[in-house]
Amino acid sequence: SLVLVAMLTLVVSHRLLNHMRLLAPEKSARFTPLRWAESFYSIAPVIMTRVLKFIGIDEDPLLLIIYFMAEGVDPNVNRERLLSPWVKAVNSQVLDGIE
């Protein structure tokens, strides 16, 4: 799915770049690929939000929390990780600061 999303992003990005070059032909050569990629990357969340609103999906913070609770937790409970000792130390410091 990540490959498909990357390909879709690439297609959309290039289509928008071509439209921008048509809108401003005198600046067409100055729309460089790297500059365009950085600009597109920074505005992509706004574009996605507008597309979702257009098709009737409203932004709901609760849905984001539910999504991250379901998908953000690694299903491999007993997997040993390189950073585990440091993550535990930071988490205990954070919890101590809350109490």
The verdict on residue 29 lying in a domain is yes
Question: In this model, does residue 17 exceed pLDDT 70?
Answer: yes
CA 74 centroid distance within chain: 19
Q: Write out the residue range of the structural domain in which residue 37 sits.
A: 2-74
Q: What is the pLDDT of residues 51-94, one digit of tens each?
A: 888 888 777 778 778 877 887 777 777 777 787 777 778 777 77
The verdict on residue 45 lying in a domain is yes
Yes or no: say if 61 and 69 are a contact pair by the CB < 8 Å rule: no
Instruction: State residue 64's pLDDT score.
Output: 74
The verdict on residue 18 lying in a domain is yes
The verdict on residue 99 lying in a domain is no
Q: Could you tell me the two tokens for 79?
A: 């997997």
Instruction: State residue 20's pLDDT score.
Output: 92
Number of domains in the chain: 1
CA 61 centroid distance within chain: 16
The verdict on residue 86 lying in a domain is no
Q: Which residue has the higher pLDDT, 49 or 97?
A: 49
For the question of whether the overall pTM of this predicted structure is more than 0.85, the answer is no
